[in-house]
Structure 1
Amino acid sequence: MSVKISLFISVIIIIVFSAGTFFLVSQQTSRLEDELLYRAKIQSVLGAETVATIIEEAIDNGVFSVNEAFDTDYQIFGNFDPPKYHTSYDSYLDRAILSIQDKFLKDDNLIYAVAADRNGYVPTHNTRYQQSITGDPEKDRVRNRTKGIFNDPVGIKAAENKEEGFQQIYHRDTGEVAWDVASPITVKGKHWGGFRVGVELSSISAAQTQLVKAMGLIMILILVVSLLFTFLYVTKAMAPLRKMTVVARNIAKGNELESEIPVTRKDEIGELQDALNRLRLSILIALKRKKGK
């Protein structure tokens, strides 16, 4: 009986713990996604404000004019696939914003952080995407992406967007799937473009997997300890009942009728001890009367 009770309680505990684990993992996973998205939105806003300030300071200092800052006369150079372009301001931004954009990538969850004009033109990409040209279009598309126009649907929406922290799912031509989060860059009161940051979804999945493993391990440990203590407690609680079972069996055989059964408890076990004791006395009296006849 102790085994059956322990198994029954164990099944209940397993069901409750499983449901609790699923709920906690779902809650923590959602919280993790919200946290990553919030950080990405903050970084996109910060990037947009920083780039806007740098461009406006360049205009104020006479580095280039307002019209040149909004230059869309993209001058193709080299023989690249996809094409690369120069503008009136791109060489200055190479010096002014490259290191700033790279600092955003200290966050391991980000795979890019770039400023793009209203047409999706990225004058300065991150250092990791400015590797030496190999001549292999497939490799170069991954390794060298600076000074390109990213006018795919996601890129255009990000560039034209005027909402802070605008989020999209981005299937990059390099194979990754990411959250693209963009905030508008405003220069001298005019919309210049957007600052885009990418959060690779595989990093989110990896973080979720680690979370599930950690919580699962904790729950398993708690479950094992709970089941162990449940079994020990039930076994201990059933010990008096097993003892009473032995006593009842002996009484049924006519043994130990002269031995008083002490009532040691005030619960149901005590009531059983008292009942067995009275039964013993009744059988003992009945046997004595039978012998007297």
Structure 2
Amino acid sequence: MFLQWFCEQLLPTSAIAARYFITAGVSTLSIIALCIFQQRTLKRVLSQGPDNSSFNRSAGNISALTSQIAIGAAEVSHFVDEVNQSIDNNGEYASRIAVAAEQLNQTTKSLGDNAKHVLEQARHAQQLSQNGKITTQEGYRSIVQLSKDVDTAASQLLALKSSADQIRNITSLIGGVAEQTNLLALNAAIEAARAGEHGRGFAVVADEVRALAAKSAQATNDIESMLANIHNETDQTSALMQQVVEQTSSVVEAMQKLDEGFGDISSSIDQSTDAIGHIESALQEQADTTADISSSINQVRDSLTHTGSRSKDISSQAYSLSQTTEGIFTELGDWETGTFEQQVLEEANSAALRCGEELANGLLSGQFTERDLFDPKYEEQSGTNPPKYSTPFDELTDKLFPAIQEPILERNPQIIYAGAVDQRGYFPTHNRRFSQILTGDYQLDMANNRTKRIFDDPTGIRCGKHTDKVLLQTYKRDTGEVMHDLSVPIFVNERHWGGFRIGFKASND
């Protein structure tokens, strides 16, 4: 029955082993040779019949070959786990980058839209500036013309003042003539009076001349008064016109500067418009590039997700292969194979029996209760990293278990560790080589002080939980070593407590 089961289990796994060994870096020719040797060994075993010695030798060979498969499966499983972790991390990074790229793309688009809007506003401002410049230039020309008109008016006003002064001089002369005429008329009247009847007609003429002289004098006075008023008003107007001329000159100068300022503004707006146009184009190119990057990252993320899914399938199949090799070792445990694994199994069975007896004695003596033993409280020891725990029974194990565990290491230099664990993977008393003084250095303490830790990794937790007659696991430790871990169950008063595990380096030899 065993041979039939073995043929069904081992031969199909050869192809799987080959596939994963290649993944782990073993040459194809070596795998082919391994598979052929397995098949030939099985055929030889089947043809030899019930010869136990021959079978035991073949079983030993099968054990060695299966060990190699287990090592390869452990390497592949560990490698795939690392790949999965890397894929998960890279996938997470890719997702973050994709989100950031999408946000950058949206931001770039928003900036592009804003730049386009600013460009439109700049162009509108450019048009307004151009219109303002034209209006300013027209106003400047109007002010210049007004200045010329004011200058002309000022000149004409000065000419009017000069003419008024000349008229005033003439009226002064006329006034003098009127006064002389009045005197002559007076003298003529006197002489006419002396002449008597003969001078009466002349007297009438003299009176008329005198009256005319008086009217002329009165008119001259009126004209003089009017000219004086005109002169005063002309002086005031001339002063005002002078102020207007000066103010107009200032306005002309200001309008000229305003025109130049509008020219500078228009030039700056033109340059800004060109710059914004370039920015808008650059942002559009950046948006296109960012979109391409986002698309590429999404493709990478999808590829990583697909690869991660496939690698998890591979890891699952590698684990299945590892379980198959465990089954082979379990079945071979009943045969005298003469292999090192058989020696380790004998050591483990003996140690498990003794550990169970010591724990039973502890219960019997009342050092702890069944609840303390089978459902203990794990109290974390302060200041330990990685964390360590104390239990109600570890005082007894510290006292008694070294006498069971340490001789195994002394008898078998190939063995790395040997000790009892409970169903949670708690290692109450580790070997002395792994119970060195704590240093505070995490890496050193993790490697050299492993006692009173809970090893609840997939390998460690199975060591204490299984109740099979033997479990041989192959795994990669957190220190990087590929190990075989052989464990057998520990029973206390026929109740399953945990397991005794022995670790030794896996070898392809």
Q: Report the Cα distance in structure 1 between the residues aligned to 2:461 and 2:435, rounded to whole angstroms.
A: 22
| Letter aligned with residue 382 of structure 2 | G
Q: 1:266 maps to which residue?
A: none
Higher strand share: 1
Q: 2:378 maps to which residue?
A: 74
Specify whether residues 62 and 36 from structure 1 end up closer, same or farther in structure 2 by C-alpha distance, changes over 3 A only.
same
Deviation, structure 1 residue 99: 2.5
- The reply on whether 1:153 has 2:444 as its aligned counterpart is no
Matches within 5 A, 1:1-293: 35-106=339-410, 107-201=412-506, 204-205=507-508, 208=509
Q: Report the Cα distance in structure 2 between the residues aligned to 1:135 and 1:158, rounded to whole angstroms.
A: 29
Q: Report the Cα distance in structure 2 between the residues aligned to 1:71 and 1:123, rounded to whole angstroms.
A: 14
Q: Report the Cα distance in structure 1 between the residues aligned to 2:378 and 2:472, rounded to whole angstroms.
A: 27
Deviation, structure 1 residue 158: 1.2
Q: 2:278 maps to which residue?
A: none
Asked if structure 2 preserves the Cα contact closer than 8 Å seen for 1:48 and 1:194, the reply is yes
Deviation, structure 1 residue 72: 2.4
Deviation, structure 1 residue 92: 1.3
Deviation, structure 1 residue 123: 0.4
| Letter aligned with residue 406 of structure 2 | D
Partner secondary structure for residue 148 of structure 1: coil
| Letter aligned with residue 199 of structure 1 | F
CA displacement 1:136-155 (0-9 Å, x = unmatched): 10011010000000000011
Partner secondary structure for residue 105 of structure 1: helix
Deviation, structure 1 residue 157: 1.1
Partner secondary structure for residue 97 of structure 1: helix
Partner secondary structure for residue 192 of structure 1: strand
CA displacement 1:87-123 (0-9 Å, x = unmatched): 0010111001113111111201211101000000010
CA displacement 1:148-201 (0-9 Å, x = unmatched): 000000111111010122111121111211111111111122210100001211
Q: 1:217 maps to which residue?
A: none
Q: Report the Cα distance in structure 1 between the residues aligned to 2:505 and 2:403, rounded to whole angstroms.
A: 21
| Letter aligned with residue 53 of structure 1 | E
Partner secondary structure for residue 185 of structure 1: strand
Specify whether residues 108 and 74 from structure 1 end up closer, same or farther in structure 2 by C-alpha distance, changes over 3 A only.
same
| Letter aligned with residue 446 of structure 2 | R
CA displacement 1:36-89 (0-9 Å, x = unmatched): 111122222112111001100111122222222224210001222221000001
Q: In angstroms, what is the RMSD of aligned CA positions? A: 2.2
Which protein shows a greater Rg?
2
| Letter aligned with residue 64 of structure 1 | F
TM-score, scaled relative to structure 1: 0.58
CA displacement 1:219-240 (0-9 Å, x = unmatched): xxxxxxxxxxxxxxxxxxxxxx
Partner secondary structure for residue 464 of structure 2: helix
Partner secondary structure for residue 195 of structure 1: strand
Q: Where does the alignment leave 5 or more consecutive residues of structure 2 unmatched?
A: 1-32, 42-57, 68-336
Q: 2:260 maps to which residue?
A: none
Q: Report the Cα distance in structure 2 between the residues aligned to 1:165 and 1:110, rounded to whole angstroms.
A: 17
Q: Report the Cα distance in structure 2 between the residues aligned to 1:31 and 1:148, rounded to whole angstroms.
A: 32
Asked if structure 2 preserves the Cα contact closer than 8 Å seen for 1:71 and 1:88, the reply is no
Asked if structure 2 preserves the Cα contact closer than 8 Å seen for 1:48 and 1:185, the reply is yes
Partner secondary structure for residue 156 of structure 1: helix
TM-score, scaled relative to structure 2: 0.34
Partner secondary structure for residue 437 of structure 2: coil
Q: Percent of pairs identical after alignment?
A: 35
Specify whether residues 63 and 36 from structure 1 end up closer, same or farther in structure 2 by C-alpha distance, changes over 3 A only.
same
Q: Report the Cα distance in structure 2 between the residues aligned to 1:137 and 1:64, rounded to whole angstroms.
A: 33
Q: Report the Cα distance in structure 1 between the residues aligned to 2:473 and 2:63, rounded to whole angstroms.
A: 19
Q: Report the Cα distance in structure 1 between the residues aligned to 2:465 and 2:400, rounded to whole angstroms.
A: 23
Higher helix share: 2
Q: Report the Cα distance in structure 1 between the residues aligned to 2:383 and 2:61, rounded to whole angstroms.
A: 46
Q: Report the Cα distance in structure 2 between the residues aligned to 1:72 and 1:143, rounded to whole angstroms.
A: 26
Q: Report the Cα distance in structure 2 between the residues aligned to 1:137 and 1:145, rounded to whole angstroms.
A: 11
Deviation, structure 1 residue 31: 6.5
Count of residue pairs the alignment pairs up: 182
Asked if structure 2 preserves the Cα contact closer than 8 Å seen for 1:71 and 1:87, the reply is no
Q: 2:293 maps to which residue?
A: none
